[in-house]
């Protein structure tokens, strides 16, 4: 296991003198490692290092071809270390190794390759309508990006932020979650081994209210890219706004997964299970509110529950495991606390709802399914963030859309139907930044990923990241010597 550092500044691990933060293995509850939190002084050193790297142009002034070469080398290096990174991630988060090894590291490599390709195709605008002037618009990097990541998919989400920020020539300071910082720390080391100049990507480790807040407020950070909870996002955007720093916020969700009776039944059932139980249920985009049409509801619910009961709970290092532990004891207690909330709100517990039996150690939670009585009930409205599915039934498409939209969140929606007119109507009606039709999850980096309502502000995609991580500059030139009024002559 790697040794956690307080920070990586100019490519070197640095120790801080802040309070000790211990990192636990959620499977064994044993201490993995720990670090002294980076305080305001280390945040300042990291931000100054990023600024110095930006100012002297060691990265932003490289040709696009040179930047592409480094980004692709990083992608190759990440792939070459798939096993190592997956093991770190699984130890620190409890996400099954089949998922960290099979998808998360590959996604990280893809993030760097995607932005390498993207920057080879960007273009400015030219306006030549004015007879005497030619105006062109170019984009230049914003400077230093503050990047703040959550614990639920650090490799995939953290790498996206770093790749997007640096591809356009920026420097950055990344702050991973204090609960699961190890994989991102290793990625930052690998990035340097792959040849990125020192100082372009820096890292600080610590808690949100201290290290994270200092990073958002630091005068040398120009923009803030945040992924995490809605309450945190509100705080960060308020701070960033008071300093006139743009922020992109990817926040929580309570996404509706609508199963119409016109669905390919088996595929919809598979998709519904994947939608809520992948990543141990800890996904912003989890299909956590399953809406089933009444005509198929009895059969669907019975089979969904039976399949949930058969999920293999176990060590996330075992390749046959479907469900590992949730991230912390607090998270386990929070998730289980929703059982009482559900029943108090008229819901019926169909399965689960306990610590998984047979595990003396580890934050294992049984796959839990609740049939809710009222779409307004708390269990249908709040993000639970664990292996906890809430099911509701509906009669008509209108009712399904109304229930789906009756939420403060609007991250993604899933729709299962073979009726393409109904699918088209659904994507029209649903209030969500992403609608997945007959697919459990597909992250197309070319297209925006954006939460509506309390699920976010701003978007991420090739174009959205270009807009976010660059400033526009409008340049106007006269086409020929102008006949100017000669004031004072
Ligand atoms: P969190 O909001 O508790 O923490 C996220 C990050 O913000 C951490 O690094 C934390 O240290 C930092 N932070 C906390 N307070 C801060 C402050 N005042 N200033 C600066 N930084 C601060 O979220 P989490 O528990 O780590 O992650 C789970 C949440 O993330 C869920 O709500 C989930 O839906 C959301 N999420 C959203 C997306 C998305 O793309 N929309 C993706 C993954 C996770």
- For ligand 1, atom 35, the nearest C-alpha belongs to 228
pLDDT in tens, 396-444: 999 999 999 999 999 999 999 999 999 999 999 999 999 999 999 999 9
Helical H runs in 94-245? 97-99, 105-119, 154-167, 182-193, 213-217, 230-242
Q: Map residue 49 onto helix, strand or coil.
A: helix
Q: Does pLDDT of 46 surpass 90? A: yes
**Cα 244 to averaged position of ligand 1 atoms, centre (Å):** 21
pLDDT in tens, 136-168: 999 999 999 999 999 999 999 999 999 999 999
**Cα 149 to averaged position of ligand 1 atoms, centre (Å):** 6
- For ligand 1, atom 15, the nearest C-alpha belongs to 208
- Give the model's pLDDT for residue 2: 86
DSSP string over 408-434: SEESEEEEE-S-HHHHHHHHHH--SSE
From the CA of 148, give the closest atom in ligand 1: 9
Tracing tokens 């526009």 back to the chain, one arrives at 472
Residues carrying an active site annotation: 250, 284
pLDDT in tens, 256-269: 999 999 999 999 99
Residue 233 structure tokens? 């996002």
d(CA 19, CA 367): 36
**Cα 150 to averaged position of ligand 1 atoms, centre (Å):** 4
Mutate which of 232, 253, 289 for ligand 1? The one with the most ligand atoms within 8 Å of its CB, which is 232
Contact by Cβ (8 Å): 66, 58: no
Contact by Cβ (8 Å): 151, 93: yes
Q: Does pLDDT of 181 surpass 90? A: yes
Q: What are the Cα distances from residue 449, in Å, to 114, 284, 286, 444, 476?
A: 15, 12, 14, 8, 34
Contact by Cβ (8 Å): 206, 212: yes
Residue 249 structure tokens? 């916020």
**Cα 177 to averaged position of ligand 1 atoms, centre (Å):** 7
From the CA of 175, give the closest atom in ligand 1: 9
Strands 368-371 and 388-394: parallel
- Give the model's pLDDT for residue 353: 98
Residue 385 structure tokens? 């963030």
Which residues are CB-contacts of 419 (< 8 A; sequence separation ≥ 6)? 260, 262
Q: Report the pocket of ligand 1 as residue ranges, CB < 6 Å.
A: 148-152, 157, 175, 177-178, 207-209, 212-213, 216, 227-229, 232, 235-236, 250-253, 284, 383, 385, 411, 451, 456
- Give the model's pLDDT for residue 78: 98
- Give the model's pLDDT for residue 1: 75
């Amino acid at each position: 296991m790697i040794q956690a550092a307080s920070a990586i500044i100019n490519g070197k691990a640095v120790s801080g003198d802040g309070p000790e933060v211990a990192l636990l293995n959620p499977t064994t509850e044993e201490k993995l490692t720990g670090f002294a939190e980076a305080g305001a002084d280390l945040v300042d050193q990291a931000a100054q290092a990023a600024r110095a790297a930006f100012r002297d142009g060691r990265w932003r002034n490289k040709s696009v071809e040179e930047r592409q070469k480094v980004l692709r080398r990083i992608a190759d290096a990440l792939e070459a270390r798939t096993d190592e990174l997956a093991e770190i991630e699984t130890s620190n988060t409890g996400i099954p190794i089949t998922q960290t090894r099979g998808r998360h590291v590959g996604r990280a490599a893809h993030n760097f390759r995607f932005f390498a390709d993207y920057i080879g195709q960007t273009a400015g605008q030219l306006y030549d309508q004015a007879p005497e002037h030619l105006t062109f618009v170019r984009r230049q990097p914003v400077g230093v990006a503050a990047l703040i990541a959550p614990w639920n998919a650090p490799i995939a989400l953290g790498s996206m932020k770093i790749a997007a920020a640096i591809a356009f020539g920026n420097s950055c300071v990344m702050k991973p979650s204090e609960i699961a910082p190890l994989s991102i720390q290793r990625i930052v080391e690998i990035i340097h081994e792959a040849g990125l100049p020192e100082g372009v990507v820096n890292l600080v480790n610590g808690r949100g209210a201290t290290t994270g807040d200092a990073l958002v407020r630091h005068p040398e950070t120009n923009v803030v890219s945040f992924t995490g909870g809605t309450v945190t996002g509100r705080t960060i955007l308020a701070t960033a706004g008071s300093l006139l720093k743009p922020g992109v916020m990817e926040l929580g969700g309570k996404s509706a997964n609508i199963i119409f009776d016109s669905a390919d039944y088996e595929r919809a059932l598979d998709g519904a299970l994947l939608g809520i139980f992948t990543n141990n249920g800890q996904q912003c985009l989890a299909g956590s509110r399953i809406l089933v049409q009444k005509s198929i509801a009895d059969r669907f619910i019975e089979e969904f529950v039976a399949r949930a009961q058969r999920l293999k709970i176990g060590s996330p290092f075992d390749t046959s495991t479907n469900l590992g532990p949730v991230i912390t004891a607090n998270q386990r207690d929070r998730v289980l606390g929703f059982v009482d909330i559900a029943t108090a709100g008229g819901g019926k517990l169909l399965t689960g709802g306990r610590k998984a039996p047979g595990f003396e150690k580890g934050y294992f939670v049984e796959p839990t399914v609740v049939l809710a009585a009222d779409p307004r009930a708390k269990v249908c409205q709040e993000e639970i963030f664990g292996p906890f599915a809430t099911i509701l039934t509906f009669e008509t498409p209108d009712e399904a859309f109304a229930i789906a939209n009756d939420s403060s969140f609007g991250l993604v929606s899933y729709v299962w139907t073979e009726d393409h007119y109904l699918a088209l109507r659904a994507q029209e009606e649903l209030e969500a930044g992403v609608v997945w039709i007959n697919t459990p999850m597909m992250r197309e980096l070319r297209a925006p990923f954006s939460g509506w309502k309390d699920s976010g502000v701003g978007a991420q995609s090739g174009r959205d990241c270009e807009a976010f991580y660059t400033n526009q500059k409008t340049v106007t030139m006269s086409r020929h010597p102008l006949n100017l009024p000669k004031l004072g002559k």
